[in-house]
Amino acid sequence: MTIAFEHDAIRAQFPTLAQQLEDQPLCYLDTAATSQKPQSVIDAMNHYYQLDNANVHRAAHQLSARATLNYEKVREQVQGFINSARLDEVIFTHGTTESINMVAYGISQQVNANDIILVDSAAHHANIVPWQQLAKKTGAIIKPIPLNDELSIDHAAFDELLKLSPKLVAFSHVTNALGTVNDVEILVQKAKSAGAITLVDGAQAIAHFDIDVQAIDCDFYVFSGHKMYGPTGVGILYGRFDQLDQLAPMLTGGEMIKTVSFAGTEFGDLPNKLEAGTPAISAVIGLGAAISFINALPKEQVRQHEQSLLTYLQQQLIQLGDIRLYGANKHNCGVVAFNVSSEHHQDVGILLDQQGIAVRCGHHCAMPLMQQLAIKGCCRASIGIYNNKQDIDQFITALRNVKELLL
């Protein structure tokens, strides 16, 4: 059941935000790094540990039966949440990074020397390094996809690269450092027309957009629970069944087998084939609670709220003066990247923290992007469902104090 958009009531569901730092209300603007968790997620995980703590799929007793039932219900929730065609196209992982590594490892037998792999120039390191490791192993060649003036993927340059008939194309749905939204459906369509396998990193998009993997038509879509108001330690690898079933398992043993003897081993069917060992059961349960939380929100009003906050944040930073914005445009989602004049980003972050403001400062696991911007790093303010105009005003006041101190 969808609840009315009463923002104060929604914000009140996040207990972390009730505290003070440095005698100031906590102003949390680091959701792109990890989101805060509503009480319902915390309660769901506590319930599992207090009443249902048992391993899944492996016992006849009632605790295991309850744990298994609730665990597999979350797989069904994820299937509906991203509109996958089949339940066995949903693989539980420990997060986006593991999901991408599983694909990079799993397709290694399909990749040959001199095969081309195209990677988004603004990608997170987790969507760069696994492909580099695959290239070292197979002799494949990595080529970055150039960015346009708005720091989104340059479609004309992309079209030229596709003439090389790449084996795989990997890019972000929303870039983590800048919040740039890429036209994933168009990019996937172009890549598939060139015969490429496609992977979309949805870690920064999953909490902000309705994701329909069938409409996107990608081969793989990956994301993490902790970016969508769920716990750390759980993520999703979605794969089109025919592509997913071809992946060689990165981890073996435990639940992923069908038969084992010293003469050889036969792997199980999906999803078991790619889910070796005891999973992060409580985190999966928490992910289910996070999906329930998101599904209960009036999504269109939430999007309008988040976009108006982002626009207000951009405007206030511009009006403040002596602020360098990176990639800020009306199509961004959830993130504003900036520096205060030529001051070091870490100094700015520390001074903001002393006023109760939580932002991230650094290269944001996007060092190639920082190199393109000719900077060593920057500050990043990112918003979530719980943020309000008062947060932005508190942040701007604190940043004004930083300016007065440093400039």
DSSP code, position 52: I
Among candidate residues 128, 130, 124, 119, the one with its CA nearest the CA of residue 153:
119
Tell me if residue 333 is catalytic. no
The catalytic residue among 218, 333, 361, 365 is 365
Contact between 276 and 254 under an 8 Å Cβ cutoff? The reply is yes
Taking the C-alpha atoms of residue 160 and residue 156, their distance in angstroms, rounded to an integer, is 7
Q: At what angle are helices 39-47 and 281-295 packed, to 10 degrees?
A: 150
Among candidate residues 214, 215, 155, the one with its CA nearest the CA of residue 187:
155
Taking the C-alpha atoms of residue 185 and residue 137, their distance in angstroms, rounded to an integer, is 30
Decide: helix, strand or coil at residue 202: coil
Cα-Cα-Cα-Cα dihedral sign, residues 176, 181, 236, 141: negative
Taking the C-alpha atoms of residue 175 and residue 368, their distance in angstroms, rounded to an integer, is 13
Helical (H) or strand (E) element with 319:
helix 299-320
Could you identify the residue written with the tokens 């769901």? 44
Tell me the residue length of the chain. 407
**Residue 11 has which token pair?**
């914000």
Taking the C-alpha atoms of residue 386 and residue 375, their distance in angstroms, rounded to an integer, is 31
Written as one string, the DSSP assignment of 203-228 is TTTTTTS---HHHHT-SEEEEEGGGT
Contact between 270 and 244 under an 8 Å Cβ cutoff? The reply is yes
Contact between 27 and 17 under an 8 Å Cβ cutoff? The reply is no
Taking the C-alpha atoms of residue 244 and residue 92, their distance in angstroms, rounded to an integer, is 13
Helical (H) or strand (E) element with 101:
helix 96-106
Taking the C-alpha atoms of residue 346 and residue 352, their distance in angstroms, rounded to an integer, is 10
| CB neighbour class for 205 (10 Å; exposed up to 12, middle 13-18, buried from 19) | buried
Catalytic positions, written as ranges: 365
